[in-house]
Amino acid sequence: MNASGASVTYLWVCVALCAVTGRSEVFYKKSGDGVSMDCTDADGGKDIEWKHGKDLIGKITGRTGLLSKGSTDLARKAKINGIMLYISSVQASHSGTYTCIGHDATKKKVTVHHSLHVMSVSVSPSDTVLSSTDVTLRCDVGGESKAQVQWIKSPDVKPYGSPVTLKSVTLADGGQWTCVVKEKGKVLGAVEKTLSVTGPLVSPTEVTATPGGDAELPCSLPSPSGLHIMSGGWTSNYPSDLQFPGLARDASGLRWNGTKLRFAFSDEQLSTNFTVTLRNVQLSDAGEYFCNLTFKDGKSLRTKLNLKVGKGKVIVAPGIQEITAPLGGTADLPCTHSGSSSPRIVEGQWVRVPPADFRLPMLMISGAEGLQWNGTDVLKAKVTTSDQQPSKFNIEVKNVEHGDAGMYICTLMFEDGKNWNTTVMLKVEEGAIVAPDARPSDSIQFWQKPVLLGLALWIWIAVATGSLLLIVLVVVIASVQCRKQRKRKAEKNKVKTESAYIRESVPMQEEFPKKKSERRPRPGMKERPLPPVPRHQYKAMNRQ
């Protein structure tokens, strides 16, 4: 064979091979996705056969169009339409080589090979875990693949191999992870997985309170828990008579369960905030407090804080101010800090020693509004403050009673951690006069004067009302008596009239006696003769 003949033969072999092998494709799909494959260059009007490895998926007879399927689960799930093969939801077991055998328009045999690699990811022990848990992420690629498998944490582009183990996960480890399959720098497939980290419980390491005041014990989760919280609450590490509230789950959700003797807490459904407030703090309350949550799988989160009472550097105002208020009047309790060079005030509060039966307001920073009174649970009929941002921190106690007497302490806390306080001693006396800045003026209405004047006014009103009621009662009784007398007189006149009438009618009856009715026969009947008079009556009549 010459060179030209060899070239022609080589060309025909290449054309024939191209026609026989067709165009092959490689698919990377995540578990659950669908995939479509075609039998390139095959004639849909002729016989077509699809196989997965050596297992028959289905065969279409060209002349009749009849489809005969294989016996595997994949064969029952797959759909063949002409030269197309479609699998709706791929699984790891569907990975492998798919072969299509058919014929082209020239009746030449066509064979097409496709490769399917199903990607699946998993997280152990779970994709929702507590902080400080060890987590392993796996990415499996089905079938024989030489591609590179990596994990990438968004937005960090640093790649990790597969599997990747995270030791003692934190909140920063949570988020979206992506399994990427690459070959020669080209991304062939990617599967995303979200890792949710619950916790840790967040609370300050230390809380400082003043005797007789309130101590807020913060405890919260950074975000809502993906795990089911079953129980939890606050405890301490030393014997105490405190009755701590606990967490319990009912039909409506997670709520506090306990009595509000010395603890204040929310009655709403809980999600992330488990803060409580300890009222009337005593020196014996100092110590460590623990906030804990228990989840459905038995695992738990815990945090602790240290409560200090009456500790820290305190700036004490010189002397104790004494305020005298009248019984039933209003007492103005001053609290003014004139140190303009001091650090910024971040919070404050009023407390009474011993504790009062009513709530006293607190100072808190409220966003852009700055320092504001927080008096949502303060009885405003008893204690009032300014509704605007205060320049002074005075409060007014209204309707002063003997039980309101005692020591009141105003405490201001600065951003550098230091405290400033002033003490006011309130005395309550009957008929006493308030300090000049709170003394009632003559122009004040009479109901704002001392209680004795008010008592006299009420006595006068009571006497006047009683006299008026007595007069009305006498008039009513007299009216009733008059009506009764008129009624009796009318009844007597009626009886006399009836008696006179009877007396007048009797003589008339005697003068005109009623005639006896004569006996007359009935119509159409003859009058019967009288019966004969007896003999003895007849003789008597003749004698007359």
Report the C-alpha gap between 103 and 109 in whole angstroms. 4
Strand partners, 68: 59
Highest mean predicted confidence (pLDDT) among 50-54, 241-245, 380-384, 502-506:
50-54
Specify whether 399 is located in the same domain as 302: no
Specify whether 370 is located in the same domain as 447: yes
pLDDT digits (tens, 9 = 90+) for 1-25: 443 444 333 333 333 433 445 578 9
Strand 345-353 and strand 175-183: the pairing is unpaired
Report the C-alpha gap between 489 and 159 in whole angstroms. 121
CB 102 within 8 A of CB 131: no
SS3 labels along 116-133: EEEEEEEEECCCEEECCC
**Which two structure tokens, joined as six digits, stand for 39?**
């039998």
Highest mean predicted confidence (pLDDT) among 75-89, 342-356, 376-390:
75-89
Radius of gyration for the chain, computed over Cα atoms and rounded to the nearest angstrom: 54
Specify whether 358 is located in the same domain as 284: no
CB 138 within 8 A of CB 160: no
In a domain, 228, yes or no: yes
CB 162 within 8 A of CB 179: yes
In a domain, 318, yes or no: yes
pLDDT given at position 344: 76
Specify whether 343 is located in the same domain as 443: yes
Phi-psi domain of 53 (left: phi exceeds 0; alpha: psi -120 through 50; beta: other): left
pLDDT digits (tens, 9 = 90+) for 464-473: 898 888 898 8
Type and span of the H or E element at 8:
helix 3-21
Specify whether 163 is located in the same domain as 243: no
In a domain, 370, yes or no: yes
Neighbouring residues of 422: CB distance < 8 A, sequence distance ≥ 6: 317, 321, 334, 335, 409, 410
Rounded to the nearest integer, the mean pLDDT of the chain is 79
Strand partners, 141: 119
- Give the domain CATH number at 194: 2.60.40.10
What pLDDT band is residue 447 in, cutting at 50, 70 and 90?
A: very low
Report the C-alpha gap between 375 and 370 in whole angstroms. 15
Task: Judge whether residue 377 has pLDDT over 70.
Answer: no
**Which two structure tokens, joined as six digits, stand for 26?**
């490689």
Report the C-alpha gap between 187 and 116 in whole angstroms. 15
284 phi, psi to nearest 5 deg: -75, -10
In a domain, 12, yes or no: no
Specify whether 382 is located in the same domain as 259: no
Report, as an integer, the average pLDDT of 72-81: 92
The single residue listed with the structure tokens 């369960």 is 257
pLDDT digits (tens, 9 = 90+) for 168-224: 999 889 999 999 999 888 999 999 999 999 989 999 999 999 887 889 999 999 889
In a domain, 508, yes or no: no
Q: Which of 86, 118, 150 is the last residue of a domain?
A: 118
User: Which range has the worst mean pLDDT, 290-304, 307-321, 369-383?
Assistant: 307-321
In a domain, 98, yes or no: yes
Domain that holds residue 105: 22-118
Specify whether 113 is located in the same domain as 125: no
Neighbouring residues of 220: CB distance < 8 A, sequence distance ≥ 6: 201, 202, 203, 272, 273, 274, 275
Specify whether 215 is located in the same domain as 304: yes
In a domain, 495, yes or no: no
Q: What is the pTM of this model?
A: 0.52
Q: Which of 451, 466, 498 is the last residue of a domain?
A: 451
State the CB neighbour count (10 A cutoff) for residue 442.
Answer: 5
Strand partners, 87: 35
Neighbour-count burial of 13, counting CB atoms closer than 10 A to its CB (0-12 exposed, 13-18 middle, 19+ buried):
exposed
Specify whether 183 is located in the same domain as 278: no
Task: Judge whether residue 497 has pLDDT over 80.
Answer: no
Domain count, the chain: 4
Task: Judge whether residue 489 has pLDDT over 90.
Answer: no
Report the C-alpha gap between 221 and 303 in whole angstroms. 11
pLDDT digits (tens, 9 = 90+) for 36-46: 999 988 888 88
pLDDT given at position 448: 45
Neighbour-count burial of 235, counting CB atoms closer than 10 A to its CB (0-12 exposed, 13-18 middle, 19+ buried):
middle
Specify whether 429 is located in the same domain as 301: no
Report the C-alpha gap between 18 and 160 in whole angstroms. 41
Specify whether 405 is located in the same domain as 436: yes
Specify whether 348 is located in the same domain as 288: no
pLDDT given at position 342: 58
Q: Which of 54, 85, 118 is the last residue of a domain?
A: 118
CB 415 within 8 A of CB 343: yes
In a domain, 492, yes or no: no
